Structure 1
Amino acid sequence: MQSIYDRIESLIKMRGMTKKLFCEELGISTGNLGDWKRSKSTPSTNKLVEISSFFGVSLDWLILGKEPESFLIKETRSTYVWDECDQTGTSLSEKEKEFIKEYISFTRYKKQQSFDQ
């Protein structure tokens, strides 16, 4: 079973980088990298996020070796009553309602774009 270090090492090799350059790019000491290799420690959560972003991989894959699963969130309602969206006890202004409508439209657009790819 591959460790987090093994996956990081694979990413470094695939990018054609040296471990030293990788450490410099991400502000990691070579000693820390060595500790990861020997399983003395593991990267912090913040560092894992940086590494996954740097290489463009998911945290699931980096930490667990799992490919992200596709999932679909299905909405059960097609319309909402504004009062149901407001849990604070104050009513939403027209500007706030318009912002929410734009956000919903944008989210649907992004969702459609991900399905089209």
Structure 2
Amino acid sequence: MQSIYDRIESLIKLRGMTKKLFCEELGISTGNLGDWKRGKSTPSTNKLVEISSFFGVSLDWLILGKEQGSFLIKENRSTYLWEECEQANALLSEKEKEFIREYINFTLYKKQQSCDH
């Protein structure tokens, strides 16, 4: 059975990050990360919320390993689909959808630029 740490580690790898960069981005000491790996401790509730938000995954998946029905990760395109997104998609105009796609791509570009430096 996968632990919370195992799921976090897989997300770090999928994102193409180093564990050190992950710790820096989320304000986690490498010692704490090591304690999570060894099972000496687990992330606080607040930190779990931050991690799930950072990677765009559900708390259910992060904590329990439960899959959401319509949840997909395609890391190369950073496509995350939830029921809410599908519902909103039906209500948005094509112009609004294009604006959102551009904003997401811009945000990912800026994030990548900050990781490269």
Question: Structure 2-normalised TM-score?
Answer: 0.61
**How many residue pairs get matched?**
78
Instruction: Flag the structure with higher strand content.
Output: 2
In 1, Cα distance between equivalents of 2:86 and 2:3: 35
- CA deviations 1:52-95 (Å, max 9, x no partner) are 0000000000000001257xxxxxxxxxxxxxxxxxxxxxxxxx
Give the structure 2 partner of residue 2 of structure 1.
2
Q: Which runs of no fewer than 5 residues in structure 1 stay unpaired?
A: 71-109
Give the structure 2 partner of residue 113 of structure 1.
87
1:34 and 2:34 matched: yes
Give the structure 2 partner of residue 21 of structure 1.
21
Larger Rg: 1
Check 1:32–1:115 CA distance in 2 against 1; reply closer, same or farther (3 A cut): same
Q: RMSD across aligned C-alpha pairs, in angstroms? A: 2.3
In 1, Cα distance between equivalents of 2:52 and 2:86: 25
Check 1:113–1:3 CA distance in 2 against 1; reply closer, same or farther (3 A cut): same
Give the structure 1 partner of residue 61 of structure 2.
61
Tell me the amino acid that sits aligned with residue 10 of structure 1: S
Give the structure 1 partner of residue 50 of structure 2.
50
Check 1:112–1:33 CA distance in 2 against 1; reply closer, same or farther (3 A cut): closer
Question: Structure 1-normalised TM-score?
Answer: 0.61
Deviation at 1:114, TM superposition (A): 5.3
> Structure 1 vs Structure 2: percent identity of aligned residues?
87
Q: Which runs of no fewer than 5 residues in structure 2 stay unpaired?
A: 71-83, 91-117
Kindly report structure 1 stretches of 4+ aligned residues shifted beyond 6 Å: none
Check 1:111–1:5 CA distance in 2 against 1; reply closer, same or farther (3 A cut): closer
Deviation at 1:113, TM superposition (A): 1.6
